[in-house]
Amino acid sequence: MTLLNGDKYIELIYRLLPECMGICLIAPAGEWCDARVTGLQISDMLQRVDARFARDARDRRNGVEALDGAHTLHYGCVQDQTDTLIVTVGIATAAQADAANVDALMTFVGGFIRDEYRLNRDMLNITDELATRYEELNLVYDTEDELSSFSEQDDVLQKLVENCVDYLDVNLAALLVPGKGIHKSHYSKALAPQRIPLLLKELSASVFDALRTSRQGIVANNSDDANRLNVSVFPGKLLCTPIFVVNEVDGMLAVVTGVSHKDFTNSDRNILEVLARKASKVIQTNYDARTGLVKRVGLEYHLENALQSARHTDCAFTVLQADVDRLQLVNDLDHQAGDVLIQRVARLIEKQVRASDTVASLGGGCFGVLLRDCSLTEGERVGEKIRAAVEGLAFEWNNHPLDVSASVGIAQLTSQTESIDEVMTGIEMATKEAKEKGRNRVHLFDDPELVQRRDQITWVSRIQDALREDRFELYAQPIAPIDDAREIRHWEILLRMQDNQGQIVPPGLFLPSAERYQLMPGIDRWVLRRTLELLTDHGMNELEFHAIWAINLSGYSVSDGDFLRHVKEEIRRTGTKASSLCFEVTETSAVANLAEAQRFIGALQELGCAFSLDDFGTGFSSLKYLRELTVDYLKIDGSFVSNVHQDPVNSAMVKAIHQVGRVVGTKTVAEFVENDEILEHLRGIGIDYAQGYGIGRPGPLLDVLQVLGKRHSKRYA
Amino acid sequence: MSKRILVADDEPHVLRVLAHSLEREGYEVKTVANGADAYELVVQAAPDVLITDISMPKMTGQTLCERIQEQMPDRQFLIFILTSRTEIEHREWSAALSNVKFLEKPVSTRKLLNQLEDYFDLQDASVA
């Protein structure tokens, strides 16, 4: 944008002053001249006007002088409010022209020139300002401060320094957080590459020291500022601002530019502070604000990398968790006391490990440590060092000495480790064990009971995944009347799980975990819903013979009042014949919740469903409960049956159960009938039904239903 | 002779700031607020660089570019298309265009100036 257009003023002067013979306008940005008569020495005019208003001339009054014999030169100037020359004017007239008239005209036109110039100059300044603000705004918009993963931090911070260089038009931007190993920088092509290492060194030394003292932004636009602040990045201009992660000046964001760049302003400092806060927010996503240690996500990230490297290089890693004992007592005393203690323990743990190890804060006075290239024995030694150091911590609060200790749990990470969850669970369980054994001790995650419990915990998530992804499958095993093993109308529904590779997992592997960790209600519901849907889909409610489908229920479902409502609802929804369903509950679970079991069994029998007491005989003293539980079938536990033909004691047990069944009017079923000899023996006793490999192996329920459906439709055809 | 740049954007402040920053670097700048006016100017005298927004009244940046491509298959000048992050789908239609660059909004003026400088340096070098 040009601040002044001289041509239109020449035009204006000619129109207002017809006797004018030539005009020249001289502005810092250019000259405009015009002569109306031949022979007029314009160059002479320019020289004279220029000489009159030389930059240092004090006398800027308008005046008149003879140009040549025939012409007079009228000269004058226009100044702004600060007496800066905007333009100088020369007007040539005939020698006899009225000087006062020309003078008045010059003042008049000068007013217009001044106004236009001022408006244009203000507009230019405003646009300049707008352009700067716009860049700042875009810089803030364009700079992320959210992380979606631990590893993204690097990219986000790198983009932040690149944006500083691009938007703020500086030569170098650097983000340094030495304690976290964060060193990001970016530079423009205007900066000589050989200067960069030195600049970065100065930033991280003298400039960072100055920031730590000042705790606020530093602007140094010249060497005086630099000397005063005791910083040395010169020649150049510097702007830097602290980054607070843990209430300390943990790092800095700095921009450096050349001497020709316009001075850094307070506005620049503000914008850099906004970016420093963004950087700090990014870092705080990964680092704990209280201890400055990496958070759980960070430990998991490093564990994941460790696991990869263990698989590829057979490198040994040991992972430990240290949990401050009875932190609650300290917190109850004073919340601040807890914070101070945690900070001191954090520093203490850092001192016991190498710089190459990773110490993380897991929250609540709990720390996780990844020891690289470290055997279990060595890890145990480090764990003991940490325990001893915490115990030796002389911690006082308000002059009260407090006893401090920590429980440490240790686990190994090897190429055999399946997932980092396994390790995390391992150290948690080992720490818990250390606490239960009396605190202030180190416990290794290596005893078989812990391993088994950990395996069960890992099963939990697999079962939950399988439930969510519908990876369960129903099998059915036939139960035959003992006097005619071919006339099968009775099946027990069994559950199989597919692992995430599609392999079938036998129930013995996952049901114990499901029982222990309360997953059975969900599984029971799934089995019930799926069975009833399949039966209905395959027309099992229209069979011309009375089929019975036995569904296992866990003790949880028996005592869950809502489950009964759920069964009724599913029967209604699918239109299943209630009389075709039999529910099996184990003797143990029925007896454990006797009153609830009675109510539950009674309610379902009222609907028409049948009931079995499963694994009967293993609960020993429970024969007398048979009086209270009116069930339809007793399933004699397989342990009595599998060698009933060889073991007289078992044979006597089976006989006794059968007789009790007869008396209370309950049919008996023998499980584990593996061969004809057993079958014969049971037949001799008078058992009603048999189930086992000797009768038929379990197969997919779908296959059974398809066979039955075909046979059924043939009979109707 | 200074390079001539035509900027098309319907947001007056974007236009003003861009024009200002470009002029400050010595470019000769013309600005228009829609694709139709831009097309008219391009036909009258092709600029050295056209910078255009996509969503504009009367004629969108897409139509503008497609029409230029159709009418001036031998076009020499470069087109900068200003996109926002959510407009990645525009890359599909623009794949048919040649001699086109993208700038993601918010546009850093410094980045734009650097790219222009690089472009003209390269051009001058190849001419020489």
A3 to chain B, closest Cα gap in Å = 13
Q: Which residues contact A110 (CB under 8 A, 6 or more apart)?
A: A76, A77, A78, A89
A161: which chain B residues are within 8 Å (Cβ-Cβ)?
A: none
pLDDT at A608: 92
CATH number for the domain spanning A508: value is: 3.20.20.450
pLDDT band at A553 (very low <50, low <70, confident <90, very high): very high
Peptide bond into A698 cis (omega under 30): no
Residue that terminates a domain, selected from A239, A260, A286: A286
pLDDT in tens, A160-193: 999 999 888 899 999 999 878 889 999 988 888 8
Separation of alpha carbons B44 and B31, rounded Å: 14
Lowest mean pLDDT, pick from A55-59, A144-148, A244-248, A551-555: A55-59
Separation of alpha carbons A110 and A191, rounded Å: 46
Q: What's the rounded mean pLDDT across residues A112-132? A: 88
Q: Where are the domains of chain B?
A: 4-127
Query: Which residues span the domain enclosing A30?
Result: 6-121
Residue A519 and residue A382 share a domain? no
Residue with tokens 């140094």: A220
Q: What's the rounded mean pLDDT across residues A564-578? A: 91
pLDDT band at A717 (very low <50, low <70, confident <90, very high): very low
Q: Which residues contact B110 (CB under 8 A, 6 or more apart)?
A: A135, A165, A166, A167, A169
A100 to chain B, closest Cα gap in Å = 42
Does the pLDDT at position A652 exceed 60? yes
- Which tokens go with A606? 């009222």
First to last CA, chain A: 96
Separation of alpha carbons A708 and A478, rounded Å: 12
Separation of alpha carbons B19 and A333, rounded Å: 65
Tell whether B106 lies on the interface with A, counting CB pairs under 8 A.
Answer: yes
Q: Answer for the pair A37, A17: CB distance below 8 angstroms, yes or no.
A: no
Nearest to B108 among A1, A166, A189 (CB): A166
pLDDT at A233: 59
Separation of alpha carbons A286 and A298, rounded Å: 6
pLDDT at A232: 67
Does the pLDDT at position A157 exceed 80? yes
Residue that terminates a domain, selected from A446, A474, A509: A446
B20: which chain A residues are within 8 Å (Cβ-Cβ)?
A: 1, 127-128, 130-131
Does the pLDDT at position A265 exceed 80? yes
Separation of alpha carbons B3 and A484, rounded Å: 102
A319 to chain B, closest Cα gap in Å = 42
Q: Determine whether the interchain pair A1/B23 forms a contact, defined as Cβ–Cβ distance below 8 Å.
A: yes
Nearest to A131 among B17, B106, B114 (CB): B17
Is pLDDT larger for residue A154 or for residue A712?
Answer: A154
A39 assigned to some structural domain: yes
Q: Across the strands, what pairs with A319?
A: A370, A411
Distance, C-alpha A321 to centroid of its chain = 22
Find the residue in B nearest to A129 (Cα).
B17
Is 0.90 exceeded by the ipTM?
Answer: no
Lowest mean pLDDT, pick from A444-453, A635-644, B115-124: A444-453
A134 assigned to some structural domain: no
Q: Determine whether the interchain pair B16/A163 forms a contact, defined as Cβ–Cβ distance below 8 Å.
A: no
Does the pLDDT at position A485 exceed 70? no
B16: which chain A residues are within 8 Å (Cβ-Cβ)?
A: 127, 130
pLDDT in tens, A656-703: 889 988 888 899 999 999 998 999 999 999 999 999 998 899 999 999
B17 to chain A, closest Cα gap in Å = 5
Tell whether B99 lies on the interface with A, counting CB pairs under 8 A.
Answer: no
Tell whether B84 lies on the interface with A, counting CB pairs under 8 A.
Answer: no
- Residue type present at position A240: C
Tell whether B85 lies on the interface with A, counting CB pairs under 8 A.
Answer: no
E strand or H helix at A67: none
Q: Determine whether the interchain pair B110/A166 forms a contact, defined as Cβ–Cβ distance below 8 Å.
A: yes
Does the pLDDT at position A653 exceed 50? yes
Helices marked H in A505-608 — which ranges? 507-516, 520-537, 555-559, 561-574, 587-592, 594-607
Tell whether B123 lies on the interface with A, counting CB pairs under 8 A.
Answer: no
Residue A620 and residue A532 share a domain? yes
Q: Across the strands, what pairs with B111?
A: none
Residue A523 and residue A467 share a domain? yes
Q: Are strands A400-402 and A406-413 parallel, antiparallel or unpaired?
A: unpaired
Q: Determine whether the interchain pair B108/A139 forms a contact, defined as Cβ–Cβ distance below 8 Å.
A: yes
What percent helix, strand, coil does chain B show, rounded to 5? 50, 20, 30
Does the pLDDT at position A715 exceed 60? no
pLDDT in tens, B55-90: 888 888 888 988 998 888 888 889 998 877 555 666
Q: Determine whether the interchain pair A134/B109 forms a contact, defined as Cβ–Cβ distance below 8 Å.
A: yes
Residue A497 and residue A641 share a domain? yes
Tell whether B17 lies on the interface with A, counting CB pairs under 8 A.
Answer: yes
Q: How many domains does chain A have?
A: 4
Q: Determine whether the interchain pair B110/A127 forms a contact, defined as Cβ–Cβ distance below 8 Å.
A: no
Residue A310 and residue A279 share a domain? no
Tell whether B13 lies on the interface with A, counting CB pairs under 8 A.
Answer: yes
Nearest to B109 among A131, A141, A142 (CB): A131
Phi, psi of A443 (to 5 degrees): -130, 135
Q: Answer for the pair A709, A703: CB distance below 8 angstroms, yes or no.
A: no
pLDDT band at A716 (very low <50, low <70, confident <90, very high): very low
B67 to chain A, closest Cα gap in Å = 31
pLDDT at A612: 93
pLDDT in tens, A597-612: 888 999 999 999 999 9
Separation of alpha carbons A8 and A4, rounded Å: 10
pLDDT at B89: 67
Separation of alpha carbons B65 and B100, rounded Å: 9
Disruptive mutation site among A135, A162, A163 for chain B (greatest number of B CBs within 10 Å): A135
Residue A203 and residue A272 share a domain? yes
Residue A471 and residue A417 share a domain? no
Tell whether B115 lies on the interface with A, counting CB pairs under 8 A.
Answer: no
A506 assigned to some structural domain: yes
Residue A373 and residue A248 share a domain? no
Residue A61 and residue A193 share a domain? no
Q: Determine whether the interchain pair A135/B13 forms a contact, defined as Cβ–Cβ distance below 8 Å.
A: no
Tell whether B21 lies on the interface with A, counting CB pairs under 8 A.
Answer: yes
Nearest to B106 among A141, A165, A189 (CB): A141
Whether this model's pTM surpasses 0.95: no
Residue that terminates a domain, selected from A86, A121, A156: A121
The upper half-sphere exposure of residue A240, i.e. CA atoms within 13 Å in the direction of its Cβ, equals 34
- Residue type present at position A452: Q
Q: How many CB atoms lie within 10 A of CB A459?
A: 22
A689 assigned to some structural domain: yes
Residue A360 and residue A276 share a domain? no
Does the pLDDT at position B128 exceed 70? no
A156 to chain B, closest Cα gap in Å = 16
Work out how many CB contacts closer than 8 A connect A with B: 37
pLDDT in tens, A317-335: 999 999 999 888 888 888 8
A632 assigned to some structural domain: yes
CATH number for the domain spanning A399: value is: 3.30.70.270
Nearest to B16 among A130, A137, A189 (CB): A130
CATH topology of domain B4-127: Rossmann fold (3.40.50)
B107: which chain A residues are within 8 Å (Cβ-Cβ)?
A: 138
A508 assigned to some structural domain: yes
E strand or H helix at B76: none
A54 assigned to some structural domain: yes
A137: which chain B residues are within 8 Å (Cβ-Cβ)?
A: 106
Question: Distances in Å between the alpha carbon of A678 and those of A190, A626, A655, A682?
Answer: 94, 26, 13, 6
Q: Angle A99-141/B12-24 helices, nearest 10 degrees?
A: 110
Q: Determine whether the interchain pair B106/A130 forms a contact, defined as Cβ–Cβ distance below 8 Å.
A: no
Percent of chain A whose predicted confidence (pLDDT) is above 70: 97
Does the pLDDT at position A40 exceed 80? no
What's the mean per-residue pLDDT of chain A? 87
Disruptive mutation site among B16, B108, B111 for chain A (greatest number of A CBs within 10 Å): B108
Residue A162 and residue A78 share a domain? no
Residue A192 and residue A323 share a domain? no
A147 assigned to some structural domain: yes
pLDDT at A712: 64
